[in-house]
Structure 1
């Protein structure tokens, strides 16, 4: 098995997203998760003209620092006991709980720094974030702490970041209105307000992203050239970037009691340990994933019009979850092409 990454296509996707954001007077921000925080990918994104990065975790922030691309801030929420690490590595971080903000304030005061708090607001996708009704109170609370070691540095919104829940246009419009109201009387401008989720990219192309959001965060659109839930690679000029290649370890015709027929089955050299098998698709016409274990994937090739042999290679496209697991697994060799 091997995961092939097309770095030129990642650069193309970064350039496409940056140019789209520039056309709509937005700033493009790349989201880097620890699974794909590798120098080759970070460099390819920078070559596409994106210079601002948000880290999905403390680990991703450290790798960004090592690569010379310091993260603009920490996107992922962290436990209170890791506040000292957060303030040492990042100048700002996402927060949704007052106790977490107070922990950041204490940690920043201990090292004589001012740390920026970015309030995360939930737009209806039921992930992390303040309810819009809570936003004014939290803005007031953080502003009241501004004489200490934290300051209100921005507001961020996630959109379409869970598998099954997608906020509608009315929800995002209500959120935009609440954010616009909340920042009145503060030092924040639209440049300090961001919206994230790769599904925002085609929305932006349609002019459907409210103007209060001055920057757009994306990860999947850059890394895979796809948009979760609704769009395939190629929309908005994005390119597919990754292929998982599996080798045939065994190929035989066996009786399948489920289909009540003899089926040609190819046993491949990867399984659920290596990627999210539920979220991959074979590129070989006529084939489909019939079953899998931790170590193997079984491909039904009964309808394939080709003379497949032992040790032949078969390519698969990946969804975001499959890519994350494959990139995270040390047992999956990576080839940067």
Structure 2
């Protein structure tokens, strides 16, 4: 069985580093656990580092944390489904929203339950994922503020990089602050939160280029992996070997580097492309697309190269690897965010914790 080795000490260290950077710029840090399926040990690391609010995208993950003794406050990151609103209102202190109908439903639930929740209205400033389009945001959010009597709109937020790959900049963050200011003026309501950042926006803090007024970041990838996939970089002041994937070698053969015969698509409908390098020594691992995203794995063995994978097998070129690798040995890899997400989700990948 493949194994994920999760170094809790390094996760806590990364969290402290990100928290320190945010604090220097008066930015509140929300620690995001969604890539770990709301892993309670990961959540505890984030709390131990000094982060108060845990951000999650799934109700089931929040329930898992609560059952394991991780207490509120929680923030619901994914725009909530109407069908899950009662559970979300019960479990979460902060909810990201983008629809007036959803705000109305939350308000009704809060009124009946005699409780209040804090809502952050999401604004799309260019990435085309969730949120009201920024040109219509002022009008719509002013309506939402008027709806809320028991619940409360406490600010605006945005998400960049996750869908359209649009990078956070001073300019698009400034749009968010401007919209918040206009809503405050029109409604005579204080909106204290401008939730403008994720891992991709850390560069704005690093270069002191964040507009004044943005005061909250929601960060997961940087904490978990020390990487920033949107900006295609390792964050050099963070640890990258926080999570390592290990898989066993189940076959060792020397074969041609290009398949023989008439070519079609692979099992996932892809057209594989091969470079003719002659005969190559290849290790097949007990690991596949069902377990992770193999093309997003980086071998810790220097000069090893992941060639391709099917559902259950990953082929690695080890021709130029210095150490002797045999059937029954293991190989280790660091992972991208996408590879970690799938590995954490897969029940066939064992999770092992280190550095408690």
TM bin, normalised by shorter chain, reads: over 0.9
Deviation of the 1:186 alpha carbon: 4.1
Deviation of the 1:268 alpha carbon: 0.4
Structure 1 pair 34–299 and aligned structure 2 pair: CA distance change class (3 A):
closer
Contact 2:180–2:191 (CA under 8 A) maintained in structure 1: no
Deviation of the 1:163 alpha carbon: 6.3
Is 1:98 equivalent to 2:97 in the alignment?
A: no
In the alignment, the residues of structure 2 paired with residue 167 and residue 22 of structure 1 have an alpha-carbon distance, to the nearest angstrom, of 19
Structure 1 pair 274–68 and aligned structure 2 pair: CA distance change class (3 A):
same
Structure 1 pair 260–319 and aligned structure 2 pair: CA distance change class (3 A):
closer
Deviation of the 1:167 alpha carbon: 4.8
Structure 1 pair 108–13 and aligned structure 2 pair: CA distance change class (3 A):
same
**TM-score (normalised: structure 1):** 0.92
Is 1:309 equivalent to 2:319 in the alignment?
A: no
Is 1:118 equivalent to 2:135 in the alignment?
A: no
Instruction: Quote the RMSD (CA, aligned, Å).
Output: 2.0
Is 1:323 equivalent to 2:325 in the alignment?
A: no
Deviation of the 1:12 alpha carbon: 0.4
SS of residue in 2 equivalent to 1:183: helix
In the alignment, the residues of structure 2 paired with residue 156 and residue 188 of structure 1 have an alpha-carbon distance, to the nearest angstrom, of 15
In the alignment, the residues of structure 1 paired with residue 350 and residue 183 of structure 2 have an alpha-carbon distance, to the nearest angstrom, of 48
Deviation of the 1:71 alpha carbon: 3.3
Is 1:281 equivalent to 2:298 in the alignment?
A: yes
Contact 2:168–2:201 (CA under 8 A) maintained in structure 1: no
Contact 1:242–1:318 (CA under 8 A) maintained in structure 2: yes
**Which deviates the most, 86-95 or 176-185?**
176-185
Is 1:249 equivalent to 2:250 in the alignment?
A: yes
CA offset digits 1:207-265 (Å, max 9, x no partner): 11212111211000111111123254442344431111111111010123352622211
Q: Which residue of 2 aligns with 1:267?
A: 284
In the alignment, the residues of structure 1 paired with residue 76 and residue 200 of structure 2 have an alpha-carbon distance, to the nearest angstrom, of 21
Q: Which runs of 5+ in 1 are unaligned?
A: none
Q: Which residue of 1 aligns with 2:86?
A: 84
Contact 2:123–2:156 (CA under 8 A) maintained in structure 1: yes
